[in-house]
Amino acid sequence: MKRGLHNITGEAVRKAIREMLSPTFLLILSGVTLFWFASRLNIQYPTEMSLSIRIDGEKYRFDAIVSGRGSAIMARRLSLKRRPDFTLEELSYRRSNETPGALTMNKVSLQRAINNKINDPDFTIVEVVDAPEFIPPTVESEDDATTETAKERRQRKRKERREARQADKAAETESEKAEEK
């Protein structure tokens, strides 16, 4: 008897849910949801977000406070819009205090350059929170007056370390041979 009552109650609940979730109700619910979503994306919002730019082909990320329509901000967050490309000459920078040989972007210069480059009335950068540090493509070598890229400098230093390890190994082998005699 109990089992039959449970089945009847379960069927009644399922039937009520099917009637409430009729195609008309679901169509109206999805329409209202889309309308609400579109209206929220049309409002002007200030927010902090991470942006990326390219300087001479290298990608750099930084945080900025931006203001814009919700749809423009969402498009930037989803990276649907192209990131701006710059050359080193277009931006102002200074020597970094933390990293030797690196440069730090001027925040105001970066903000103006990006706003001019994207030229989007629905999206503007209000303030750059932290300007990116970068190593310029060519750096003056401290050892001599030649210029070398950062990659060449890293390769040269790796080679020097490798040669130093090989020299240490050779000296160790020589001392072991001398001890054996």
Tens of pLDDT, residues 47-89: 999 888 888 888 888 899 999 998 888 888 887 667 788 887 8
CA–CA gap between residue 115 and residue 107 (Å, rounded): 12
Residue 68: exposure state from Cβ atoms within 10 A (0-12, 13-18, ≥19):
buried
Read off the pLDDT of residues 93-111 as tens digits, 9 standing for 90 and up.
Answer: 888 888 888 888 888 988 9
- The number of CA neighbours under 13 Å toward the Cβ of 140 is 2
Residues 6 or more apart whose Cβ sits within 8 Å of residue 133: 96, 98, 99, 102, 103, 104, 105
- Residue percentage of the chain with pLDDT more than 90: 13
Average confidence score pLDDT of the chain: 81
User: In this model, does residue 124 exceed pLDDT 70?
Assistant: yes
